[in-house]
Amino acid sequence: MSIDRPVTIIGGHGKVALRAAKILSEAGAEVYSVIRNPDQADDIRAAGANPVVADIETLDVEGLREVLRGSGSVVFAAGAGGGSADRTYAVDRDAAIRSIDASVQEGIERYVMVSYDGAGPDHGVPEDDSFYPYAQAKAAADEHLRASELQWTILGPGMLTDEPGGESIGVGGDKREDRATSRDVVAAVVAAVLRRPDTVGRTIGFSDGDTPIGEALTRE
């Protein structure tokens, strides 16, 4: 399945997002990458995408609709990156939810959320853990997406690494015990699910592994 309409990646300067933009643009897709810092525009262009400067943390739904207008697919790959709990909730929960609502109102059908393996209301992260705000934020955003009318896919990679990745993953019982997941692999899965109607309405947890992505997505 080809990607005929533009793809907008929110959080476009992230390591996964830049890799995904490169894969998609090299496959012929028109990619728009949303960044807050205009100094990052050259990196976006180098990945083959078009930079869109916008601060998703402060934009309301109407502002996000303008950013997303004309897109056929949205990939949410933004993240506050830890630190302030308030900012984690502002980006990973509130901005994500607004982008989902904006996508619905704009009539964008396809939405891919980059989450993490184990996300959900029963994530089990204790409140005194520094990861707790992120776990809570992702649980809320993912549930909001599931309840929407979008053709959604939620991706749950394991512990992210910068190790070189290939075109294979582990799903289900084939996940790595340590859940290590190359950002290269996450980007490849993002690009793959956008072409796969059979991944709509699915939450896909994965890690590095030995099964070709196409086969693993059929199995999972």
Q: Tell me the pLDDT tens digit for each residue of 14-58.
A: 999 999 999 999 999 999 999 999 999 999 999 999 999 999 999
- Measured in Å, how far apart are the chain's first and last C-alpha atoms? 19
Q: Is the pLDDT of residue 8 over 60?
A: yes
Would 58 be classed as within a structural domain?
yes
pTM score of the predicted model: 0.95
The per-residue pLDDT for range 136-152, each reduced to its tens digit, is 999 999 999 999 999 99
> Looking at residue 220, what is its pLDDT?
58
Task: With residue 84 as reference, give the H or E element that holds it.
Answer: none
What domain range includes position 23? 7-219
**What's the CA gap between 133 and 145, in Å, rounded?**
18
Q: Is the pLDDT of residue 159 over 80?
A: yes
- Mode of pairing for the β-strands spanning 180-182 and 211-212: unpaired
Would 111 be classed as within a structural domain?
yes
Number of structural domains (the chain) is 1
**Residues near 127 by beta carbon (within 8 Å), at least 6 away in sequence:** none
Would 1 be classed as within a structural domain?
no
Q: Contact at 8 Å (CB) between 54 and 36?
A: yes
Strands (E), 58-150: 73-76, 110-114
> Looking at residue 79, what is its pLDDT?
86
Would 154 be classed as within a structural domain?
yes
Q: What are the angstrom distances between the C-alpha of 101 and each of 30, 63, 68, 72?
A: 23, 11, 11, 15
